[in-house]
Structure 1
């Protein structure tokens, strides 16, 4: 994964890189993209870099050849360290420790192909005519188009560090010795006078004219070389290069050079001594020791001892990186009297742009410690809203004009000239211009709590917001120092559910925006509908330059064109700067020369509008970099690259692509013709995969949304063998055979079906009869149960009636006995006669026999089953069981047996024990079950 190290810069008023609109200072640098070993998965050290015609970047790494297409890294390992790389046509020539050979760009997976065996190191490779030159310490190898190899030894058996192609010759220096030229035929010529370069080690040679060259030396800086003599260049750039030691030199643009140093990173400057940039570790470079440089499409690639860096020298934005955390979080930027002022949570800082960026330093205004909220240029005064009060700034000094804390925003009134309003921690502060000085008057009454945004309407009313669900329109008196009327904006229908309102001046209206809506106030039907769709949810709406404003929406930065009422999408790395704004304190300043100043949570950035509008991302035609057809079940891949007829087995299609947009994230669209009707958005993803593609012919197309040019690959998914013409013919024959067999089978089956139907019908009738019989038996059983229940009730009733008769007779007998004992006047013979009649008609045994007969009729096998199960039961026990069976209660049983209720319970207990029933079994339930 690649990551951006954003380094924050400001713009000077003077020299710039070629064809660039942004002036640069030492405090700032262009966008730097840094790749570490965790990104490219190889070693820290990278020695050389080149780019192929296709656009892919190749890097000589300690572990082998690195490939990068703007999206994906790939390492092709070699047995020894690589130190040099050179791309020519579709061949990637490489050299290193005892290695001299090449890779094929179309078949990198085939690995390294050696040209010859060597016992030295190859330090540089370049083309000279049709030949490729491999330079080692002690010799130079020539490889022609047919692969024939020749070599030339360094003169006198000496060595050289680097050689350089100039015209049709090779220039090099014998280490700490003479300067030589050699043509392709091996003819050598000495160019330097005796001893002229003996004390120097030349690391770069460039011809400036017919009789003049530029020499760079490792420890002694730059020289002009003419007529065999070296003359040192006398300027500040060269003095700096002497200290940092030159390792690599690369011309960029018409006049500029990039100097890769041994200890100071990269210096960009010209031969007149002007230094445009110093890119080092303080500004995001991964390491100050530079091994390789490459400049293509305004992109400067830097290979270091610990990673790779990429600088977009044509980018419209420069960054200041607070490496030492001196500034902290920046809240506002202003340009005043030739100086840039930066307000942060650490205080107020200033610096002056210098022609030479090395001389630029940043200073802190004395006594400014604390939180700076706002910097506003009001007329000829620079005002500072500080945590401790409000100040004017003059000659880098602060003069307090108010103790009112906060100072989020200043508003100079047009309706009330000479009046200034300021949102603060409490209410709105009012200032008045008296004798050319701003003087604090008062804080407006009737406004409580923190105020945030201020915007004036043409009629003099002021829109004031707080930090939450609070927004008012206030009408001031004639002198502008008191509120006479206040209207709550939250009553507006569109704002009733809004939170965190922001208000921004916009011509004759103010823009009122929240997360879900945006309206103009007063209402403007011509713009409200457009604003609601375009500007809803913005958290910031900047002051404008010409008719352009920067807006922050969903934490992404965009450019809003008020003239066309449209949003212009910015490069991705600029879009995401919205995520570095301080939440609820977003601030963009308008600076000289059509520049926006962006206050960020760490440092700040300067965006040049003119450069932005003319900036074009460095993209090439999007290319398909890898295509795979595979069997999704087994993972097996199609082994060949002929996609005219892909076997059906390999119908999982996967493709990778790249726009070679090294300076920013590309966004892609794709369409699989034959499967999709419309273009599909793929975002930043550079791959597409689809499984189980149906049989058919397809064309995969892909494009970069910023470029539009299309790349495609055509392929066909072949039908499986069982869908071939021969297979279809066999299927037809088999089908006819099946039809014929089927007809015969159908006739046989029809006959069987008829027989089966008859059997089923008979079976159905039999089942119906059985069912009817079962139903009849069930009805009979139900009727029988009813009859049994009725008879049981009758038996119970009979027993009860018999018991009642017994009770009556017993009462009569008892009364007769009393009469007899008392000798009352009754004839004894009459009493005896009554007694005989009662005894004759009441026979307990006879009543039991009657009951037993009726009971046995209802419960035919009860006594038999009971005696079988419990042979120890007596007649008395059987009698009790029968009474229980007819559901007599304990009370009724006690009466029948003429015993107490407790004695009856004891009798039941003894019966249960004699029947040997478990404790948990209820006696009555058990008897009912028999």
Structure 2
């Protein structure tokens, strides 16, 4: 027996030493770190993620098959290259540029003045001869204030706007930046160093020809780890290269390496093709494995990255994984065959766990990396507790009271049991709480045996707490606490009293617990004890004061170190006892367990400060209290997006260092904010609170909402304030965004000045109007008389004007009549002249008919002279032409209007229209137009048709209307 105890102590001491070292380095070799897996449906990108980096605000970037992915802890964004190619490499620069490399394309993304990432191509700045045969850019380095883009054929070194091209001697593989030195592997030349603007060969490195070096990691100044695809791991030290014969090397050779990364200069991450990752120390000993069956969603790891919180990101062949390695917690979940854990205990160098599926165990001093917990045969049922009594284990199970020795089960009773307690007054006897009451067990040399079932108490128990002191059994079954007394022979129990409250001010009893071997009763953090002498509960001021500033608790348990564990609001807290017997309250580390604890079953198994096991609804948590709490940081919160009508601004990506002040027009007074905290561990417990000052005075309650919208804000200055609380309960500083809603034009300062001017003007106008009215009243009659006089004068002038108009009209009518009369007279004269000419033409014709042969010469001469004289008279007559000219002058306006109204009318038809306007008869028209009466009628018909007159319309009347 003593040998076993000494062996256990030595084992625990060795484990303690190991865990102290691991705690310091923040990587544990027991259990699995918490992992969050992001599938492509979550980030809406391609399956493969080739490179990872982080900016100064904490945003994570991924080189994805479909572009650049950005994650701020809340939302994902995707940015594509112009040629829609995959991105294989990225590097975040100190200047805020995100350098990326794709297929025949490379450059950088940079935020514009609205915070949107805009791509700037460097490839297009290349000379034409340098653009050929580039293909994929596999690596990017920030080297001596220069940016290096490396493909398999060429390497481009950019120094601001200038660049240099290095062509591969045969074919480049990958490049590496090691302690400020730039190395590139060539397919034939081995490892080359870019030095003094040239490639220099590293001797004895052609050994790597035929394999790919995926990573070179500096372990110290003179010691570099070389990770190859298939040949394993090598150390380059002082110019010599040797195989790193370690457990890590075996893992790489077996699973093929895709590079890795360094964790805090203490641990190495080994990416593999076939088996996820392995984490080893600097001596090559593997301390952690993560793969498809142990937390990571895909076994092919293309890239790994340690963020600014010392946590690990994995870019997978299908998806992304976040590994919270920088935590004192690791977990045993379904991958270790565990489900809901109600109790755990270490016994004989084994860890036993009571679950809803039975009792499981795992060797305590063996490697936890791969082996799962094993079910103890015969226990596959609900197991409520597992407890140590001397050298024997008792399991309270749905199958009954089970004794376990050497992993062999002996059933002591068939009734289901909840738990066991040693009777303080009789330490060889054990009280068992079963489904129908109590039983008594006894420790013997051969083990534990059932003595008898206790009579007198047969309540059906669902939820319970049981404690035993020297006098009573205290059993809590909500909402009562039973005070029971065992008989001297332990065969029966008497119910002394059923308590519903501690005193009148506390109407309930929330929990019973045993602290320092004394039973305490608690309600609302007020602790009581029971006085047997006075038969009352009395308040204990020490523990009441101790829990005064702690949230209302559900239960308290004391561990073997004297520390007090308490549960509250589905979370856990610890009052840790220090050397001066004072207590330090620790809550933050356990905040990430919120919601995972088993309700009404607080299971905390403290083996030592380095090894604390906590039961969860989905497994078992391992907590190392000696790991530094430096992983608990104050979170940062950013307003990532600010939008209003017509504007969408990404705040935290802006390259501007000064906090801008936004002026928003009144028509855009509906504003929307999106915010996030780049806190990646325990994201589901990150909470936000906000307020808009001065619109709101109080902070909104904590919630997971990351979007807030305000509508119909009045004009004025506003400050949007955001704060975040991470899973450890730490609250960030307040982030503020200032903006101003401009007033509408009718409430602008200038508008109010105009209003004042209008009011003043109106006041002056009214004053003047009153004064004017007073003056007007004095001479109103004079004005009225003047008005009447002016009205009469105006009337007379109007009548005179009308008379003058009438006279003028008469004159015009008379003149028109005279003109028509003259026109008629002129026409008649013209007609007479026409008749005279006709007669004269007849005489001329008769003279022509005289036979000149019968006349003498004197007579011929006289007749010829007479003929010439008559002909001259006829030809010299211009009366008809004068008539036409006169008519056209007199009726010029009429002819102009007629021509404008009927543009197609001919001159002959204009003449006819004028003659008809003068009311000439057909006979006169025959004479003046020298046509027949039938010709007149035909001309009249054609004119009517030209004027578009129907049969009922009078032609002369229509012409007169024009």
Same-fold call, TM cutoff 0.5: yes
The residue number in structure 1 matching 2:57 is: 54
**Structure-to-structure mapping, 1:488-507, within 5 angstroms:** 488-490=498-500, 502-507=511-516
The residue number in structure 1 matching 2:957 is: none
Alignment check: 8 A CA contact 1:219 1:242 kept: yes
Alignment check: 8 A CA contact 1:249 1:260 kept: yes
**Structure-to-structure mapping, 1:152-301, within 5 angstroms:** 152-155=166-169, 157-160=170-173, 162-175=174-187, 178-183=190-195, 185-192=197-204, 195-208=206-219, 212-226=223-237, 230-296=241-307, 297-301=309-313
Alignment check: 8 A CA contact 1:103 1:112 kept: yes
1:269 to partner: Cα distance = 0.5
The residue number in structure 2 matching 1:36 is: 39
Cα 1:229–1:595 shift into 2, 3 Å: closer
Equivalent position SS for 2:344: strand
1:404 to partner: Cα distance = 4.3
One of 722, 737, 751 as aligned partner of 2:746: 722
CA distance in 2, matches of 1:23, 1:393: 36
One of 403, 425, 434 as aligned partner of 2:435: 425
1:319 to partner: Cα distance = 0.8
The residue number in structure 2 matching 1:684 is: 704
CA distance in 2, matches of 1:240, 1:385: 42
- With 675-684 and 61-70 compared, the bigger mean Cα shift is at 675-684
Query: What do the CA deviations read for 1:378-424 (whole angstroms, capped 9, x no partner)?
Result: 23432222333323333222234x21422211111223332211111
- With 709-718 and 408-417 compared, the bigger mean Cα shift is at 709-718
Equivalent position SS for 1:53: coil
Question: Residue 658 in 1 paired to residue 676 in 2?
Answer: yes
One of 319, 339, 360 as aligned partner of 1:307: 319
CA distance in 2, matches of 1:337, 1:288: 36
1:657 to partner: Cα distance = 3.2
Greater Rg, structure 1 or structure 2? Answer: 2
**Structure-to-structure mapping, 1:509-658, within 5 angstroms:** 510-512=519-521, 520-522=528-530, 523-526=537-540, 539-544=554-559, 546=561, 548-559=563-574, 568-570=587-589, 572-578=591-597, 581=598, 583-593=599-609, 595-611=611-627, 614=629, 616-628=631-643, 630-631=644-645, 643=661, 645-658=663-676
1:27 to partner: Cα distance = 6.8
Cα 1:105–1:618 shift into 2, 3 Å: farther
Equivalent position SS for 1:729: helix
Cα 1:432–1:168 shift into 2, 3 Å: closer
Cα 1:286–1:671 shift into 2, 3 Å: same
1:177 to partner: Cα distance = 5.7
One of 113, 116, 136 as aligned partner of 2:120: 113
CA distance in 2, matches of 1:387, 1:741: 100
CA distance in 2, matches of 1:458, 1:378: 17
The residue number in structure 1 matching 2:163 is: 149
CA distance in 2, matches of 1:747, 1:416: 116
Cα 1:175–1:125 shift into 2, 3 Å: same
CA distance in 2, matches of 1:727, 1:485: 85
**Structure-to-structure mapping, 1:737-816, within 5 angstroms:** 737-739=761-763
Query: Normalising to structure 1: TM-score of the pair?
Result: 0.70
The residue number in structure 1 matching 2:77 is: 74
Query: What do the CA deviations read for 1:815-854 (whole angstroms, capped 9, x no partner)?
Result: xxxxxxxxxxxxxxxxxxxxxxxxxxxxxxxxxxxxxxxx
Equivalent position SS for 2:426: coil
1:343 to partner: Cα distance = 2.1
1:136 to partner: Cα distance = 0.8
CA distance in 1, matches of 2:30, 2:328: 16
CA distance in 1, matches of 2:243, 2:111: 43
Cα 1:61–1:606 shift into 2, 3 Å: same
The residue number in structure 1 matching 2:420 is: 410
1:726 to partner: Cα distance = 3.0
One of 419, 433, 447 as aligned partner of 2:457: 447
Alignment check: 8 A CA contact 1:543 1:590 kept: no
The residue number in structure 2 matching 1:129 is: 144
Alignment check: 8 A CA contact 2:572 2:591 kept: no
1:100 to partner: Cα distance = 0.3
1:13 to partner: Cα distance = 5.0
The residue number in structure 2 matching 1:735 is: 759
Cα 1:490–1:747 shift into 2, 3 Å: farther
One of 83, 86, 91 as aligned partner of 2:88: 83
1:327 to partner: Cα distance = 3.5
Cα 1:12–1:311 shift into 2, 3 Å: farther
The residue number in structure 1 matching 2:882 is: none
1:263 to partner: Cα distance = 1.5
Alignment check: 8 A CA contact 2:527 2:540 kept: no
CA distance in 2, matches of 1:363, 1:652: 60
Cα 1:24–1:561 shift into 2, 3 Å: closer
Cα 1:130–1:557 shift into 2, 3 Å: same
Query: What do the CA deviations read for 1:75-96 (whole angstroms, capped 9, x no partner)?
Result: 1223211111100121110111
Equivalent position SS for 2:500: helix
Cα 1:236–1:644 shift into 2, 3 Å: closer
CA distance in 1, matches of 2:414, 2:566: 30
1:191 to partner: Cα distance = 2.6
CA distance in 2, matches of 1:745, 1:610: 92
Cα 1:57–1:636 shift into 2, 3 Å: closer
Runs of 5+ unmatched residues, structure 1: 1-10, 749-930
Equivalent position SS for 2:661: coil
Equivalent position SS for 2:74: coil
Question: Residue 713 in 1 paired to residue 737 in 2?
Answer: yes
Equivalent pairs, count: 722
1:163 to partner: Cα distance = 0.7
One of 410, 417, 434 as aligned partner of 1:399: 410
Query: Normalising to structure 2: TM-score of the pair?
Result: 0.68
Alignment check: 8 A CA contact 2:513 2:556 kept: yes
1:535 to partner: Cα distance = 8.4
Query: What do the CA deviations read for 1:314-339 (whole angstroms, capped 9, x no partner)?
Result: 21211112138x44433321111211
CA distance in 1, matches of 2:769, 2:575: 79
CA distance in 1, matches of 2:21, 2:74: 28
Equivalent position SS for 1:408: strand
Equivalent position SS for 1:323: helix
One of 707, 715, 735 as aligned partner of 1:695: 715
Equivalent position SS for 1:242: helix
CA distance in 2, matches of 1:531, 1:495: 20
CA distance in 1, matches of 2:56, 2:647: 32
Question: Residue 140 in 1 paired to residue 174 in 2?
Answer: no
Cα 1:304–1:453 shift into 2, 3 Å: same
CA distance in 2, matches of 1:102, 1:173: 25
1:616 to partner: Cα distance = 4.1
1:131 to partner: Cα distance = 0.6
Equivalent position SS for 2:722: strand
Cα 1:430–1:21 shift into 2, 3 Å: farther
**Structure-to-structure mapping, 1:858-897, within 5 angstroms:** none
Runs of 5+ unmatched residues, structure 2: 1-13, 125-130, 531-536, 655-659, 773-962
1:540 to partner: Cα distance = 4.5
CA distance in 1, matches of 2:208, 2:551: 69
Cα 1:483–1:414 shift into 2, 3 Å: same
Cα 1:210–1:387 shift into 2, 3 Å: closer
Cα 1:16–1:69 shift into 2, 3 Å: farther
